[in-house]
Amino acid sequence: MNHMYSAHKALIFYVALLVFIAPGSQGLVHCAQNIDSDTCRECHYDSMFGQSFDTSAHGTNSCSSCHKDITDLKLHMSGTQRPAPVDCGACHSEIAGQFLENFHYLQEDFRCVDCHQDIHTRIKETVNLKKRTIEGCTRCHGNAEYVSSGHAEGVLKGNLDSAACGDCHGLHDTKVYHASLEEYPDEARMFYNTRCKHCHTDEAMMKRNNLSARTVDYYEETYHGKVQGVGYSTLVAGCADCHRTHNILPKTDPRSSIHPDNLVENCGRCHTGFHKRFVTYKAHPNYRDRENYPSLFWTFVFMASLLIVTFLFFWIHTALWWRKSYWEKHARERDGVLPEICSAQKTEHEHVERFSTAERIMHLLLISSFFTLVATGFPLKYYYAPWAKVFISFWGGVQMAGLYHRIAAFVLIVLFAYTAWRCFRFIFPKGVGISGWKERLFSPDSLFPRWKDWEDIKGMFLWFFDKGEKPRFDRWTYWEKFDFWAVFWGMFAIGGSGILLWKPEWSSYIVPGWVLNIATVVHSEEALLAALFIFTVHFFNTHFVPDKFPMDRLIFTGTYSIQELKHEKPLQYERLMEQQKLEALKRRHPGIPLKLISAIIGLSSLLLGLTLAALFIFVLVFS
């Protein structure tokens, strides 16, 4: 021991000398303060500081590499200079950075050694790292739930892919959320959902473990996934709500929360008042999988085909129409031919009614409810689009968006019912009974399709290709009839599915849960069909066709000139003249205020619709 003291005094002297000689040389001073490890081992002779330390992961370090604060052996031996917690971050800087987020440090002031108590004998572990992590955490935390889980079984079998504590909670940046107390609900849920997704979207890892890496994608296509994706994870089921936390088991295990026998209880933790068939709802189905989800697959195929066929036909129709009209207009301009309206007789400038006040109000209600439905529904459909969250926050959150969506849906349903009533009254007028209903149904004033519509379609295509004259239309053209029936068809598809999804628990008393999956696909795809159809085809046919561009305010003013009637609906004009009914339809020319308001409403709607269409097409093309 005396020898040790002498050596130490010599060392101190040497250090002092160096400090005076080279005060700026920090590295040298640092080295000079080191106490030789063998000196330490003279007292700390336990094997964990000897051979076990030498063969440990840190064996190449000296004692003073870590215990830098022991600089005076005498003070240390007298108990005055005690070792402070080691600054492991000097070497493990990345982990030290993560540790600043660690709950155990922030709240309990844990230091590295509190978990790594075997630091002097610790060997670098790669194979059994997860097992060791579990052993470490469960020294304090109960493991009863975890050990019976599929993840634990995997780890114990040596599967390095299986999740140990650190994979979900973070290892050196362990988070603590009192999720059950709803203290950090959003943050906690997003954190844990992200952790689950981190592994379960890893293609290679999932392939190794016979699991699908697309399950997360399928979840994100459901209502739960979309609401979570748009930033409201506390309102819907995340991974752990159904699969639970530590006791995650496959659905074939009777103890599993997702075992068929446990689903009523599992779903019942969030949903109430449902029929037990509610649980046949698929939480993350793959509707492209014909074998396992045939009904969803065929629904998706049908809806996708409907979209493709409809748009293929009408977009081609629109393009050809534009080409023909534009070329005709060009020819007129080139040859100096004035439009017919300029050469019309004076009386033909007079206005006649096409849409009554009630019809115009109905259309305004239709516009406002339709835009509300689109602007509240599509941010969920395309929750991943950069604009989705902006829309949702505009409405005041996803719950408020849902409320407005339902209010608008109610308005639309009332409109639909009223229109259906008017149709009924058209075919069966008051005081007439059923006699002559067939004639009325197929009359030119009816919106019901008739053979002439087919002839008109053919005629239009011949006109597009310069093979004939433009067909002579009566009161309703075939594309106007399609617009009308599209809403009717749409109301059955989108309205029916929407009503089922309105309160899914109640719907389970009518249909099983898996029908709600189908309803979701139908509602979503039909919405896309309706929105894009209105914002492209309807907008063009009614407003952007070269004769009308940039808009036709007829639907807002309700009247147009006799000359326009004669030009657009010649057969109706001739009928009215023959029946001497034209005079009764004559109205005053719309005033400037009505014209201006019509233009403002119309152009704003067109602009909004086009913007929305552009946003949707952007998502469809680039997502």
Partner 1 sequence: MINLITTELFEKEFNSWCYHMAAICLQAMLFAFFPLCAQAQDWKTVDAQTLHDWLQSEPITLANVMSPIECLDHRIKGSRCIPCEEFNKNLSTIPKDKKLVIYCESKECIRSCRSAADAIQEGHEKVYVLEGGMPAWKHEGFTLESELRVPRVPIQSVKAMGLSDWLADHPDHIILDIRSESSYEKDHLEGAVNIPFYQLHERYHELPWDRAVFVVDDRGFRSFLASCYLARKGFTVVRLFGGMERWRAFIENEGRDR
Which residues here bind partner 1, judged by CB under 8 A? 84-85, 100-101, 105-111, 114, 139-142, 144, 178, 180-181, 364-365, 367-368, 371-372, 395-396, 400, 404, 597, 600-602, 604-605
H-type alpha helices, 36-111: 37-43, 51-54, 63-66, 73-77, 93-99, 103-108
Name residue 404's beta-bridge partners: none
Phi, psi dihedral angles at 258 (to 5 degrees)? -105, 10
How many residues does this entry show for the chain? 623
Residue carrying structure tokens 């109706």: 572
Please state the closest distance from residue 540 (CB atom) to partner 1, in A: 19
Spatial distance between the Cα atoms of 545 and 170, rounded to a whole number of angstroms: 60
20: number of Cβ within 10 Å: 8
For residue 417, count CB atoms less than 10 angstroms from its CB and return exposed for 0-12, middle for 13-18, buried for 19 or more. exposed
Separation CA 441–CA 443 (nearest Å): 6
The per-residue b/e assignment along 380-405, b for 16 or more CB within 10 angstroms, e otherwise, is: bbbbebebbbebbeebeebeebbebb
Q: Provide the minimum distance between the beta carbon of 152 and partner 1 in the complex, in angstroms, as a whole number.
A: 17
**Helix spans in 109-184 (H):** 112-115, 129-137, 144-147, 150-156, 165-169
Which residue, 178 or 438, has its beta carbon nearer to partner 1? 178
CB burial of residue 533 (10 Å; 0-12, 13-18, 19+): buried
Quickly list DSSP for 18-49.
HHHH-TT-HHHHHHHH---HHHHHHH--SGGG
Nearer Cβ to partner 1, position 7 or 364? 364
CB of 264 to partner 1, least distance (A): 14
**How many Cβ atoms are within 10 Å of 420's Cβ, its own excluded?**
12
**Strand pairing report for 559-561 and 586-587:** unpaired
Closest separation between CB of residue 100 and partner 1, Å?
Answer: 6
Nearest residue (CB) to partner 1, 101 versus 340: 101
ω into 550 cis (within 30 of 0): yes
Q: Give the closest residue to 413 by CA, choosing from 298, 497, 297, 515.
A: 497
Give min distance, CB of 180 to partner 1, in A: 6
Of 75 and 100, which has the nearer Cβ to partner 1?
A: 100
Nearer to partner 1, 84 or 156 (CB): 84
Residue 556 backbone phi and psi in degrees, to 5: -95, -40
**Distance of closest approach, residue 505 Cβ to partner 1, in angstroms:** 17
Looking at the Cβ atoms of 320 and 601, the one nearer to partner 1 is 601
Integer angstrom CA distances of residue 98 from 94, 102, 118, 134, 170: 7, 7, 21, 19, 9
Give phi and psi for 120, each to the nearest 5: -75, -15
Q: Which residues contact 623 (CB under 8 A, 6 or more apart)?
A: 382, 384, 385
DSSP assignments along 224-289, one per residue: HHHHHHTT-GGGS--HHHHH-SS----TTSTTSTTSGGGHHHHHHTT--S--GGGGGS-SS--TT-
Judged by beta carbon, residue 140 or residue 342, the one nearer partner 1 is: 140
Q: How far is the CB of 380 from partner 1 (least distance, A)?
A: 17
Closest approach of partner 1 to the CB of residue 79, in Å: 13
Inter-residue contact 34 to 67 (CB < 8 Å): no
Helix axes 513-532, 294-335, angle to 10 degrees: 10
Shortest distance, CB of residue 396 to partner 1, whole angstroms?
A: 4
User: Closer to partner 1 at the Cβ: 149 or 605?
Assistant: 605
Q: Nearer to partner 1 by C-beta: 194 or 604?
A: 604
Two tokens, residue 235: 């309102």
Output the smallest distance, CB 334 to partner 1, in A: 37
> For residue 76, which of 53, 43, 49 has the smallest C-alpha distance?
43
3-state secondary structure of 559: strand
Token representation of residue 16: 């002092």
